[in-house]
Amino acid sequence: MSDTSKHVAVIGAGPAGLIAAEIIAPHAQVTVYDRMPSPGRKLLMAGRGGLNLTHGETPDKFMTRYPAMAPMLARAIGDHPPAALIAWAQGLGQNTFVGSSGRVFPRAMKASPLLRAWLARLGTMGVAFRTRHDFAGWAEGGLVFDTPDGPTAITPDATLLAFGGASWPRLGSNGQWTRHFDARDVAPFVPANMGFSVAWSDIFRARHAGAPLKRIGLAFGAHTTMGEAMVTTTGLEGGAVYNLSGPIRDAIAASGPVTTTLDLRPDLSRDALARRLPEGRGSQSMSNFLRAKAGLSPVAIGLVQEALHAGDTRSLADIIKALPIRMEAPASLARAISSAGGLRFSALDDNFMVRDRKGVFAAGEMLDWEAPTGGYLLQACFSTGSAAAHGLLNWIHTRV
């Protein structure tokens, strides 16, 4: 059981906050506060796609997945790497496996068994939960929450903030906490790992919205990726799009809509594809010709026809290998998988303590970092939660 002589408040019941509570609980009394009626709501949402915990690639390659990585983030992940996260999940009875893409999942392929086991463990460790507590700001020597029973003030010995970012606000992390910090210390939130709007023709939208594009290449400038995508009524989303969403988003913010290119047959060279596509198609319709000769799916054929109707005069092989897609605007924060922006690392000391608030530490997606999907998001949340928890414990011990 924890030592009740010290009380630590953890604000935010997502992965970063809960792992911090677990690390701190053997050394202090811990109460986790969250504005939602139950903990771990965004974790449960992530579990709907299989709960991609982390990635099995080599450490050096893993670390390249975080653009402009801050040294503190690198250290946090180095101290609490994928192997530690996998061992932790297995300790909760959730064995993992590595998929064909290198992604690591629990064998249950969902979050609910892991979360139930985790909350049970925290309960045995003496961690208390206070739900429907919405952080309302700082009080003299403490914190204030808005609750169903009115404002509530507390004065913990130390506080760990894990508010989350600003994506999927209905799950709890709405980014409103930023108003309680100096604006200079907060990078504005923008969507990350999101789709983009595309001005499809009415015919294409009616026929192909909801159709997957499998085994495609996507390129933007010097950036290329392989994966899958999904046509929506308003545009394009999916793993391949998310992998390049940061550079595309930033380019749109700087100069407006941009053109990306799809490779609909990345398994074939341009010349090999051209040999399959004779000049004449005889009495075959364009759809039958592209399906028979180029092996394209109906939605891929629809994209080629969109390009032809827009006046693209290149050869079919060139269109298929570099089909232009004009990205108009990124999806909103409410639809993004994650967010970029948040509390700058410059506002923290080396122990993840907020520089102008002694005894207040921060972790998770509320910090200003960005990563693609593939296990990198949850890994950084767990790693920074661990780093901030250890920083908090070191701070408490120095004050004994």
User: Under a CB-based contact definition with an 8 Å cutoff, are residues 364 and 325 in contact?
Assistant: no
What are the φ/ψ torsions at residue 205 (nearest 5 degrees)? -60, -45
pLDDT for 358 equals: 94
pLDDT in tens, 200-229: 999 999 999 999 999 999 999 999 999 999
From 55, 108, 47, select the one nearest 81 (Cα to Cα).
55
Tokens 């953890």 locate to 10
Query: For the chain, how many helices (H) and strands (E)?
Result: 14, 20
Nearest residue to 188 (alpha-carbon basis) of 36, 333, 397, 342: 342
Count of positions (residues) in the chain: 400
Q: How far apart are CA 210 and CA 233, in angstroms?
A: 7
Q: What is the CA radius of gyration of the chain?
A: 24
How many angstroms separate the CA atoms of 263 and 287, rounded?
Answer: 18
Give the model's pLDDT for residue 120: 98
Label residues 148-185 b or e (16+ Cβ within 10 Å = b): eeeeeebebbbbbbbbbbbbbeebbbbbebbeebeeeb
Q: Report the pLDDT value the prediction gives residue 126, as an integer from 0 to 100.
A: 97
| CB 212, CB 369: distance < 8 Å | no
pLDDT at 2: 62
Supply the pLDDT for residue 75: 96
Given this model, what pLDDT does residue 155 score? 96
| Single-letter residue type at 304 | V
Structure tokens at 105: 């999942």
Rounded mean pLDDT for each run of 10 residues along the chain, 400 residues in total: 83 98 98 97 88 95 90 96 98 96 94 97 98 95 94 97 95 94 97 98 97 98 96 97 96 98 97 90 89 96 97 96 98 95 97 96 97 95 98 91
Which residues does residue 229 pair with via DSSP β-bridges, in sequence order?
213
* Tokens 């495609």, located at residue: 216
- Angle among Cα 201, 269, 212 to the nearest 5 degrees reads 35
Q: Summarize pLDDT for 159-201 with one digit per residue, the tens.
A: 999 999 999 999 999 999 999 999 999 999 999 999 999 999 9
* Per-position DSSP letters for 320-370, written without gaps between them: HHSEEEEE-EEPPGGG-SEEEEEE-GGGB-TTSBBTTSTTEEE-GGGBS--
pTM here? Answer: 0.93
Residue type, 388: A
pLDDT at position 48 is: 84
Q: At 50, is the secondary structure helix, strand, or coil?
A: coil
Q: How far is CA 224 from the centre of its chain?
A: 19
Cα(24)–Cα(6) distance, rounded to whole angstroms? 11
Confidence (pLDDT) at 1: 54
d(CA 147, CA 364): 24
Domains of the chain: 7-191+337-398 (3.50.50.60), 196-330 (no CATH)
Q: What is the pLDDT of residue 259?
A: 98
Distance CA 155, CA 140 (A): 8
Q: What is the DSSP letter of 165?
A: -
Sort residue 198 into left (φ over 0), alpha (ψ -120 to 50) or beta.
beta
Instruction: Describe the strand order of the beta sheet including 150-154 as a list of residue ranges.
Output: 134-139, 142-147, 150-154
Tokens found for residue 343: 């509390």
